Amino acid sequence: MDTTNMLRVNAHPGSYGGLGSSPQDRQQQRRQKMLAVFDAVENGNLEASKLAFKSLMNFDRTFLADVQFTRLSKALDAGSIYLAQQVVREIKTKLINAAPIGSRPSHNDHPPRLHHTDGLHLIDTQA
């Protein structure tokens, strides 16, 4: 029996030739490219902002479906770093407010109430 193929490990199962990336890797790359745009714009570097934005668009064109990213594109094309900074602040605010509710910290500091019974009566030990 030939064992050479049995011992081969595919680092990226489900991808062609092991060169694909998982959806989590793609999401991380998307996030990193978006943060690179934000950093460049916030630092006031127009050329770096344009380059980072172009890289983001080449990676994922779905950003152009978002009105704010379209505004950011137009601001960068017009050379208005100030307007681009305002748009980035709006995008960040939108992203923060769109975070899933489960990821926000809970403000319920009260522990659950424990109830004990003696067989006849319900005794609330927290009262």
In tens, the pLDDT along 22-62 reads: 788 888 999 999 999 999 999 999 999 999 999 999 999 89
Residue 15 has pLDDT above 60, yes or no: no
Q: Which residue has the higher pLDDT, 20 or 97?
A: 97
Say if residues 11 and 51 touch (Cβ distance below 8 Å): no
Beta-bridge partners for 124: 115
With 0-12 CB in 10 A as exposed, 13-18 as middle and 19+ as buried, what is 49? buried
Could you give the percent of the chain with pLDDT greater than 90? 47
pLDDT at res. 119: 60
Model's pTM, two decimal places?
A: 0.60
pLDDT at res. 89: 94
Closest CA to 19 of 31, 10, 28: 10
pLDDT at res. 64: 84
Give the three-class secondary structure for 8.
coil
Going from the C-alpha of 75 to that of each of 34, 36, 49, 106, the distances in angstroms are 16, 17, 11, 38
Q: Which residue has the higher pLDDT, 59 or 17?
A: 59
